Structure 1
Amino acid sequence: MFKNEFSGKSIIIAIPDHFGLPQRFKENLEFLGFKVCVIPDNMKVKIGFINTIIHVYKKFILREKTFKKIKKTELKLKKQLAVLEQSNIKKFNYALFIRPDLFCSELINEVKKKTEKISAYQWDGLDRFPLIYEKINLFDRFFVFDVNDLEKNSKLLPLTNFYFDDIKKSENKYDVYFVGTYMKNRIDLLIKLARKFKNLGLNTSINLHTHSIEKARKIKNEPITHIDKPISFRDNIINVSQSKVILDFANDVHYGISMRTFETIGYRKKLITNNPLVKKYDFYNSQNMFVIENKNIDGLEDFLSTPYYELHDDIINKYSFTNWLKYVLDIHPNFPINLIK
């Protein structure tokens, strides 16, 4: 990847503020040479007393659950447009929306007026946030990461996740690293693995986020660190880059591959995951990725004792942020990206 590869180009990005994700995008984009305008999503707005009454009526009487979300999105619009107008760039080359269901159509249309090409990536299942369906046609290019969503609109394009390529591999501090939120369907497996790693004498950093006292109590005596505040996206990536093996769990509501998997590709790490979908991709190698099926961890010790198998540079570059961005913005990507079912 080349620093300043997009020198002189400009881009608007609108991304939900999940653990510092907009800043992480901005840093990598600026590393590549872009001038970046970030449309914020984290402004706090109140819908007011009358709208609260309407929200309660619609939610509990009419069983409509989108009113509050729509109203908050509308109230954010004025502040978001002010950010857009403050930019000294009159016409941007590109615009990119991540989770565009969180942004109102009026904002998207205003951004369209100020840019040459506008793309979107819905990295959550379409049916989970049905407001997105009315916005798909507002974009020049619209991507989904769940292959099952492709049949829902002829305009949809396939796209995997990626790894940020402005952060490089570091010297290892941990043997195994994991950070995530408490989920009932995976906690027993996580505890099982954490105990296994401890018995093997491995230096682990296994972190679980929850505000629930009851859930925190369940892991109190386990080799798992309870954290009451999420780790930022940047700090998490640095931790990944400093670990030999990364632990990952699939989310049952999606059919796709997490960013954690692609980070192990970019930073040359081994992966332990319960997502069998990784076996179907070109980056899969059993020496690098241990797939847990039916909670069976037989063979894990052998996996941990074998060295990392170096992937071809083409595979590593294919799933980088730079190549991903070229594909999203239609700037002649070095390698095509596709989803596998």
Structure 2
Amino acid sequence: MNDRKPTIVLGMPADNQIHKTIESALTYHGFDVINIAVDGQEFRYPSFASRLSVKIRQALGDKHAKRRLKSRLLTESFEQQLDAAGGSADYALFIRGDTYTPEFLQDVKRRVRGNTVNYQWDGMSRFPNIRDCAALFDKFYVFDPADIRPSENYLPATNFYFDHNINLPETPPNDIYFVGFHMEPRRAAITAFARETEKLGLKTDLAIGGLDMSEAELRRLYPENIRTFIGIRRFEDNLKAAQQAEILVDFKTPAHNGLSFRPFEALGYRKKLITTNAGIKKYDFYHPDNVFVWDGEHLDGLTEFIARPLHEFPPEIYQKYSFGNWINYILDIEPHQKISLPE
């Protein structure tokens, strides 16, 4: 009897540490994981000599000296982990494959027996460089319906909810939960929503983060019942906080039309959802008792929505959007339910 677990290479940005949650989920579902996530925010030179060498090359006009060093170090780390796993892997999953050089992607693919796939959880227009390496993958998935085009061999997928380490309180301490980054186009809607929840006397956990500004600058932009912070919040902390509220809130990112993680967390954790993404009405898990689609201006009907009981779906809907089904679908492992995007 062969009890060997399949080995999967996981490559993605490491900025908010969601890669650790995905690695944990993959392990839960029976994979051995080679994690090659890269931090786009920080890079530490391995030695003073390596730093000096890069600076000299840059001074001589080599604009890609640092990138090549990072790629070489990543390749060395990958090969060490791969050798420890037996010299090859069964699958490779990249999320935002444009984070890596085409040469590195090709090297990984040569060492993988099964599918090497990419999931682009940002709109293609947001990181257009991914188009240059899309053909390197056996399967290429997008989450924005606008990116499904007959002329390109992109496959549909959505985000998902993590179906491991679920710790839901019997009585959630908060009514409303939202965390996100400051984006000027949605500031007015977030501000209006925060003020309305205060009028209704709802217990909220609302937070806005910023990157290229000071804490004082960010603080001046939002009402007092929204906490502000500078930097990137760990995804695991966000996930735990989401499980502590009755209702999750999702403000659409202007850059794309795909659904964020928040709608799927609401579905999987049996929460209600308030969202400004009207596209959710086209998905098979939409129900007006569970999802309040807000136009960003008028909150008429919110009180009645909160009071209505949650609509329960058939078990296969919850299974369809779980991470367990998602990874089987992405890697083409049976059994799985197919995931589609609305037209």
Partner residue, 2:137: 139
Calculate the aligned-residue CA RMSD, in Å.
2.1
SS at match of 1:40: coil
Partners of 1:316 and 1:301 in 2: how far apart?
Answer: 26
Partner residue, 1:208: 208
Given residue 329 of structure 1, which amino acid in structure 2 is its aligned partner?
Answer: L
Partners of 1:72 and 1:282 in 2: how far apart?
Answer: 46
Is 1:308 paired with 2:310? yes
SS at match of 2:266: helix
Q: 1:158 aligns with which of 156, 159, 175?
A: 156
Partners of 1:334 and 1:105 in 2: how far apart?
Answer: 30
1:261-276 equivalences under 5 Å are 261-276=263-278
Partner residue, 1:112: 109
Change (3 A) 1:16 1:153: farther
Given residue 30 of structure 1, which amino acid in structure 2 is its aligned partner?
Answer: T
Q: Is the 8 A contact 1:40 1:80 kept in 2?
A: no
Partners of 2:124 and 2:142 in 1: how far apart?
Answer: 8
SS at match of 1:120: strand
| Alpha-carbon offset, residue 154 of structure 1 | 2.9
Is 1:98 paired with 2:95? yes
Partner residue, 1:22: 19
Deviation digits for residues 262-314 of structure 1 (CA, Å, limit 9, x no counterpart) = 11111110000000001111100101100012522110111112222222211
SS at match of 1:340: coil
Q: Is the 8 A contact 1:169 1:268 kept in 2?
A: no
SS at match of 1:48: helix
Partner residue, 2:248: 246
Deviation digits for residues 136-190 of structure 1 (CA, Å, limit 9, x no counterpart) = 1111111111222222753211111111111325111211000011111111211
| Alpha-carbon offset, residue 215 of structure 1 | 2.8
Given residue 185 of structure 1, which amino acid in structure 2 is its aligned partner?
Answer: P
Change (3 A) 1:321 1:204: same
Q: 1:8 aligns with which of 5, 16, 29?
A: 5
1:71-90 equivalences under 5 Å are 72-87=66-81, 88-89=84-85, 90=87
Change (3 A) 1:164 1:296: same
Q: Is the 8 A contact 1:324 1:333 kept in 2?
A: no
User: When the two structures are aligned, how many residues end up with a matched partner?
Assistant: 322
Q: 2:33 aligns with which of 28, 33, 36?
A: 36
Q: Is the 8 A contact 2:218 2:228 kept in 1?
A: no
Change (3 A) 1:200 1:127: closer
1:184-263 equivalences under 5 Å are 184-210=184-210, 211-212=213-214, 213-219=216-222, 221-263=223-265
Q: Is the 8 A contact 2:275 2:291 kept in 1?
A: yes
Change (3 A) 1:216 1:9: same
Partners of 1:34 and 1:153 in 2: how far apart?
Answer: 34
Partners of 1:280 and 1:54 in 2: how far apart?
Answer: 51
Q: 1:148 aligns with which of 117, 141, 146?
A: 146
Given residue 162 of structure 1, which amino acid in structure 2 is its aligned partner?
Answer: F
Partners of 2:335 and 2:166 in 1: how far apart?
Answer: 21
Change (3 A) 1:48 1:337: same
Given residue 266 of structure 2, which amino acid in structure 1 is its aligned partner?
Answer: T
| Alpha-carbon offset, residue 128 of structure 1 | 2.5
Partners of 1:247 and 1:256 in 2: how far apart?
Answer: 16
Change (3 A) 1:9 1:179: same
Q: 1:121 aligns with which of 116, 119, 129?
A: 119
Given residue 237 of structure 1, which amino acid in structure 2 is its aligned partner?
Answer: L
Partners of 1:86 and 1:214 in 2: how far apart?
Answer: 45
Q: Is the 8 A contact 2:15 2:232 kept in 1?
A: no
Moved more, 38-47 or 255-264: 38-47
Structure 2 spans left out of the alignment, 5+ residues: 46-50
Partners of 1:193 and 1:170 in 2: how far apart?
Answer: 25
Given residue 39 of structure 1, which amino acid in structure 2 is its aligned partner?
Answer: I
